[in-house]
């Protein structure tokens, strides 16, 4: 924990990727500002994650680390260009001096930039891969079943109020207008969002289940279903939408626009992916489908379906020969039941029901 007398005027938060972790770690901003309201906070992220942070009211600046571009330059053998870009970025980073640097990713690829940055106190969260050598102090990751638990625990260790932990990303008028147009062009006002896509096949739900759930949602709620996703998901999403009588916007929206679609949804159903976590961030009723991973089992305004199979969570090492029973055994009927539970809870709490 930082001493009560600590009063950093400048803070650098490092979380380069992934989308879901940036969403969950974003709650640190409100916690840090609650303790040090006059502090200027800068976030270092890779370009994809940075799109969610540019213009955030609690951030002074977002620095973009173009790792993907540097990798391409290296593969192309353009070593001189690579060297010049890294040197220029290092110079940009060192142009500022920070009272407090916090690396919440805890990997070598993030820790090395904490080392390169000028800072009075450098703290690493769960630092591994040798990155602990870059910090004055390392703090353990404290994982509990609550969403964003490791980042909430970090806020507490920094002396910030846990009650002020509130996840948020940037919203712009341009994003709002783009989503207005997208929905208007499709004649959609009220809708549900399905977050179908994620990084690994063992985290996916089965196509037949999505189609079954879409049919049940249309019959019960009489609203359309939007499938969201990135450009790499567009072709599959188009086929799935055609088979399941859904609407696909995969590949047609930026990440901030996808977040805005989620914010306006009546409810969200999704696998372990960053966009699903946005539903919880926006206080949208959300059903999370977890199997090979279980990043959390408790989140306000959400229902988590996790069957806790004997082989779960296998994370990156599935042992089921592609059967993925942990996801296959989650039925559309059980999801609909959880949506009903969310509606009952919302009514009991005086909130809008699903």
Instruction: Write phi, then psi, for 65 (nearest 5 degrees).
Output: -100, 110
CA atoms within 13 Å, Cβ hemisphere of 260 = 22
Q: What is the dihedral of CA 311, 315, 316, 317, to 10 degrees?
A: -10
H-type alpha helices, the chain: 19-25, 27-35, 47-50, 67-75, 79-94, 108-116, 149-157, 173-185, 207-221, 234-244, 255-264, 274-281, 325-328, 332-348
Rounded CA gap, 224 and 243, in Å? 14
* Residue 91 burial class via C-beta count within 10 angstroms: exposed 0-12, middle 13-18, buried 19 and up: exposed
174-348: CATH topology: Rossmann fold (3.40.50)
Q: What is the pTM of this model?
A: 0.93
> Can you read off the two tokens belonging to residue 131?
């990155």
Strands 267-271 and 286-290: parallel
What's residue 330's pLDDT?
A: 97
Instruction: Give ranges for CATH 3.40.50.2000 in the chain.
Output: 10-164, 174-348
The CATH classification number of 10-164 equals: 3.40.50.2000
Q: What is the pLDDT along the chain (354 residues), one digit of tens a residue?
A: 565 557 899 999 999 998 999 999 999 999 999 999 999 999 999 999 999 999 999 999 999 999 999 999 999 999 999 999 999 999 999 999 999 999 999 999 999 999 999 999 999 999 999 999 999 999 999 999 999 999 999 999 999 988 999 999 999 999 999 999 999 999 999 999 999 999 899 999 999 999 999 999 999 999 999 999 999 999 999 999 998 889 999 999 999 999 999 999 999 999 999 999 999 999 999 999 999 999 999 999 999 999 999 999 998 899 999 899 999 999 999 999 999 999 887 777 766 556
Instruction: Write phi, then psi, for 329 (nearest 5 degrees).
Output: -85, 0
333 Cβ contact list (under 8 Å, min separation 6):
216
Q: Do the beta carbons of residue 120 and residue 98 sit within 8 Å?
A: yes
> Can you read off the two tokens belonging to residue 324?
């993925």
Cis peptide preceding 313, ω within 30 of 0: yes
CA 33 to chain centre: 21
Mapping DSSP onto H, E and C, the string for 288-349 reads EEECCCCCCCECCCEEEEECCCCCCCCCCCCCCCCCCHHHHCCCHHHHHHHHHHHHHHHHHC
Rounded CA gap, 41 and 60, in Å? 6
What's residue 176's pLDDT?
A: 97
For the beta sheet containing 225-228, the strands, ordered from the edge strand earlier in sequence to the opposite edge, are 247-248, 225-228, 192-195, 267-271, 286-290, 302-306
> Can you read off the two tokens belonging to residue 299?
């989140």
Q: What is the dihedral of CA 284, 316, 21, 205, to 10 degrees?
A: -20
CA atoms within 13 Å, Cβ hemisphere of 255 = 20
Neighbours of 51 (CB within 10 A): 22
Neighbours of 299 (CB within 10 A): 20
What's residue 162's pLDDT?
A: 85
The dihedral built from the CA positions of residue 205, 210, 211 and 212, taken in this order, carries a sign that is positive
153 Cβ contact list (under 8 Å, min separation 6):
141, 142, 144
């Amino acid at each position: 924990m930082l001493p009560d007398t600590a009063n950093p005027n400048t803070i650098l938060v490092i979380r380069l990727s992934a989308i879901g972790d940036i969403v969950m770690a974003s709650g640190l901003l409100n916690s840090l500002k609650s303790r040090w309201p006059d502090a200027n906070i800068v976030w270092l992220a890779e370009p994809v994650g940075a799109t969610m942070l540019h213009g955030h009211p609690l951030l002074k600046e977002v620095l973009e680390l173009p790792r993907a571009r540097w990798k391409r330059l290296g593969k192309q053998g353009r070593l001189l260009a690579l060297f010049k870009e890294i040197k220029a970025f290092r110079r940009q980073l060192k142009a500022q001096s920070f009272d407090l640097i916090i690396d919440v990713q805890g990997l070598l690829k993030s820790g090395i930039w904490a080392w390169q940055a000028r800072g009075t106190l450098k703290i690493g969260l769960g630092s591994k891969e040798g990155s602990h050598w870059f910090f004055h102090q390392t703090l353990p990751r404290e994982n509990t079943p609550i969403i964003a638990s490791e980042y909430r625990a970090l806020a507490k260790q920094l002396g910030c109020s846990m009650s002020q932990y509130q996840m948020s990303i940037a919203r712009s008028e341009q994003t709002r207008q783009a989503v207005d147009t997208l929905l208007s062009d499709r004649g959609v006002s009220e809708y549900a969002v399905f977050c179908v896509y994620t990084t690994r096949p063992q985290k996916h739900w089965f196509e037949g289940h999505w189609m079954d759930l879409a049919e049940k949602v249309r019959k019960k709620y009489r609203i359309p279903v939007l499938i969201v996703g990135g450009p790499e998901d567009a072709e599959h999403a188009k086929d799935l939408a055609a088979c399941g009588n859904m609407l696909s916007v995969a590949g047609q929206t930026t990440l901030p626009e996808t977040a805005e679609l989620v914010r306006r949804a009546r409810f969200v159903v999704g696998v372990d992916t960053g966009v699903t976590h946005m539903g919880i961030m926006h206080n949208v009723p959300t059903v999370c489908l977890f199997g090979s991973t279980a990043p959390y089992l408790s989140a306000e305004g959400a229902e988590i379906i996790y069957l806790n199979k004997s082989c779960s969570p296998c994370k990156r090492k599935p042992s089921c020969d592609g059967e993925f029973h942990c996801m296959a055994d989650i039925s559309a009927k059980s999801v609909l039941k959880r949506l009903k539970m969310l509606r009952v809870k919302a009514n009991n709490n005086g909130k809008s029901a699903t």
